Amino acid sequence: MPDLTTLLGLLEHDSPTGHEGPAVDWLLERMQTLGFEVEKDEAGNGIGKMGAGPRQVILLGHIDTVPGRIPVRLETDPKLGPCLFGRGAVDAKGPLACFVDAVAQLGPRQGWQFVVIAAVDEEGDSRGARALLDHYRPHFLIVGEPNRWHRIALAYKGSAWAELHLRAENRHSAHHDPTPAEQAIALWLRLQAWAEAFNRERKRLFDQLLLTLRAFNTLEEDFYTSVRLRLGARLPLDLPPQAWYRELEHLAAPFQVQPLGYAVPAWECEKNTPLVRAFMRAIRQQGGEVAFVQKSGTSDLNIVAPHWRCPALVYGPGDSALDHTPHEHIPIDEYLRGVAVLTEALRLLTTSSNEPPPSDRAPS
């Protein structure tokens, strides 16, 4: 059996968003035994550094998971072989463990520093990623999310949440005016129709506006009835959050629109970079056929990439269709191939890249 200590240890330490501390502490101890210099920052992120050169590669994973414990166990699938089950096996402790193991296998590289970050709160408001923005200026960025070992993700949609609220005087049930609940239903249908019109000529899912109604609540008082809707929007590149909120306020009147949390715009990475080329070569060396994907979700890439403005991509073993499900698992072969690809990609990158170090590039 190959060494799966990093992956197993992460899975055995539960870390739902807001409760990542013990898992971070365990990972820091693990990285230290593998030769990393380690620290925990003020946000609670676990950070391991390998090497001290002027050129820096950040490998940004996240250690938090959605709630719901899945017993850690090894089962054999007839098609996939041995598979490791556990919350986070795919999203995204699998990619994070891959980062740690690959950098440890490669070891220090002359003139380079690898920084592996286990960020907290990615499943929340990305508090961990936001805390990094002004402390690093990497030459290359790799974000850890599951997209299978032979695929490279270059784009993630934006995200914006809002609560829509209406409070109206109570009327007799025989009155012909629509109730607040009926107005809320009409509003949702109106928003769906607008999104359908917006998407009509857009063939790719990545280019479309995707709406979800996540909550619908009514409250009856003595003289008033209130209704609240919680709405999520996945945004394409040409619809930034502020433009969406303006359109939403227009469409939702007379409902009040209250933005929730942190909205983030969509982001697409450049394809023709030394980073992408290194991964393409590494995947082919492992016998894989390279595939590029654009994701309908949002990740920490959307937070850090616009700020750091360096070549970036998203990589990680695991099937993202299993994200957040009670069946989350990763095939051992998938994980090991991911480690092998990343190790070779980092070797190629740090051997062949002739781009200037960050200090020679124009500030973002």
Return the closest-CA partner of residue 198 out of 209, 190, 206: 209
User: What is the distance between the alpha carbons of residues 118 and 138, in angstroms, rounded to a whole number?
Assistant: 16
247 among known catalytic residues: no
CA separation, residue 5 to residues 27, 36, 96, 240, 292 (Å): 10, 16, 13, 42, 30
Element (H, E) at 9: helix 5-12
Q: What is the distance in angstroms between the CA of the first residue and the CA of the last residue of the chain?
A: 46
Active-site residue, selected from the candidate residues 91, 122, 145, 300 = 122
Q: Both tokens of residue 60?
A: 């940004």
Check 14, 20, 64, 121 and give the catalytic one: 64
Backbone angles phi, psi at 330, to 5 degrees: -135, 130
Note if 323 is an active site residue: no
Q: Which residues contact 279 (CB under 8 A, 6 or more apart)?
A: 152, 290, 313, 315, 341, 345
Task: Give which of 49, 48, 99, 10 is closest to 317, Cα–Cα.
Answer: 99
Query: Which residues participate in catalysis according to the annotation?
Result: 64, 122
